Amino acid sequence: MAAELSELEKAIETLVKTYDKYATRGFFRRKRGISKGSFQKMLSEELHHMLTDTENSQAVDQMRQSCDKNQDGQIGFEEYWTLMGRIANSLLFIMEEPEENAEK
């Protein structure tokens, strides 16, 4: 019997599975990434509680363009991972605010 995954391992597995759910494959399965339409769908279905304007196509497109560092029109895994890190960093900042105010 395999050991149960830790909470952190489950979280990483969820991030990878979510990327795979929205990523598309190009010819011969070589090129892979999240397309413009899939990116908007991912944000509205998976991140609507943490991000605002997930239904606003202009706001989503601006976010997609800022994530698409190599400007290939798709969000690759590294670009996706960077976005998840930015969201996690924002969440950490929000979680730390009450502690800082309590110390004053």
Across 47-71, average pLDDT: 89
Q: Residue 24 falls within a domain, yes or no? A: yes
- Confidence category of residue 29, pLDDT binned at 50, 70, 90: low
Cα distance between residue 93 and residue 66, in whole Å: 21
Q: What is the model's pTM? A: 0.80
Q: Give the containing element (helix H, strand E) for 76.
A: none
- Confidence category of residue 92, pLDDT binned at 50, 70, 90: confident
What does the pLDDT read at residue 26?
A: 66
List, for residues 65-88, the tens digit of each pLDDT value: 999 999 999 999 999 999 999 999
Say whether pLDDT at 1 is over 60.
Answer: no
| CATH code where residue 24 lies | 1.10.238.10
Say whether pLDDT at 30 is over 80.
Answer: no
Over pLDDT 70: what percentage of the chain?
A: 87
What does the pLDDT read at residue 49?
A: 86
Q: Is the dihedral of CA 38, 51, 20, 67 positive or negative?
A: positive
Q: Residue 25 falls within a domain, yes or no? A: yes
Q: Is residue 56 classed as helix, strand or coil in its secondary structure?
A: coil
Provide the domain count of the chain: 1
Q: Residue 1 falls within a domain, yes or no? A: no
Q: Residue 27: which domain range? A: 17-103
Q: Residue 41 falls within a domain, yes or no? A: yes
